[in-house]
Amino acid sequence: MKISARGRYSMQALFDLAHHSHGAPVPLHAIAERQNLSLPFLEQIFNKLKKAGVVASVRGPKGGYVLTRPCNEVAVGEVLRLTDPGFHAAAKNDPAEAKEALLEDQRMAQLLWKQLDEQIAVFMEKVTVADLCSESMSNTCPVCTCPDYVKGVQLDMQNGKPKGCAALLA
């Protein structure tokens, strides 16, 4: 799987937005300062997210960006596909796929990579911004965009049942 700097920064910025918004717009310059990211670079990223309907901009002195959907409805895979033109959820690009006559062991390897690619894609679509926020215990405010979801994930974690990303660390 390849994720460019643009993809990583877009996830950093969206996590920051979800963590700090509490239902109010967050200015890009604040995200840029907290995350130590270039403001013009963030503007490009948020323009793409805005065109896709993931975020909306609010004008004015207290303006900024807000998520248009609850955090638990914004998948990591979606954000990466929108902001990272080179992103592909794949374990490996197998050059042997182009050959017509593959040896049996090459077919087996190709099958393995194909199944792994599918699992990575499913995982990237299952993990949401809410998972990242709740699993890091960073989004516990009462005006969270998906408070029941966050509470459920955090309760599961307190009971020793990691979910999503945290399950990989267990």
Angstrom CA distances, 70 to 43, 83, 93, 140, stand at 22, 19, 34, 14
CA distance 24 to 64: 8
Dihedral sign computed on CA atoms, order 152, 154, 4, 99: negative
Tokens standing for residue 83: 């902001």
Q: In order of start, what are the domains of the chain with their CATH numbers?
A: 5-68+75-127 (1.10.10.10), 134-170 (no CATH)
Q: Three-state secondary structure along the chain?
A: CECCHHHHHHHHHHHHHHHHHCCCCECHHHHHHHHCCCHHHHHHHHHHHHHCCCEEEECCCCCEEEECCCHHHCEHHHHHHHHCCCCECCCCCCHHHHCCCCCHHHHHHHHHHHHHHHHHHHHHHHCEHHHHHHHCCCCCCCCCCCHHHHHHHHHHHHCCCCCCHHHHHC
pLDDT at 64: 93
**Do 83 and 7 contact (CB within 8 A), yes or no?**
yes
pLDDT tens, per residue, the chain with 170 residues: 677 888 889 999 998 898 888 778 999 999 999 999 999 999 999 999 999 999 999 999 889 999 998 888 899 999 998 998 777 655 455 454 545 556 766 777 888 888 888 888 888 888 888 887 776 655 444 455 566 666 676 677 677 765 554 444 44
pLDDT at 132: 78
pLDDT tens digits for range 115-164: 888 888 888 888 888 887 776 655 444 455 566 666 676 677 677 765 55
pLDDT at 169: 41
Give the mean pLDDT of the chain.
Answer: 78
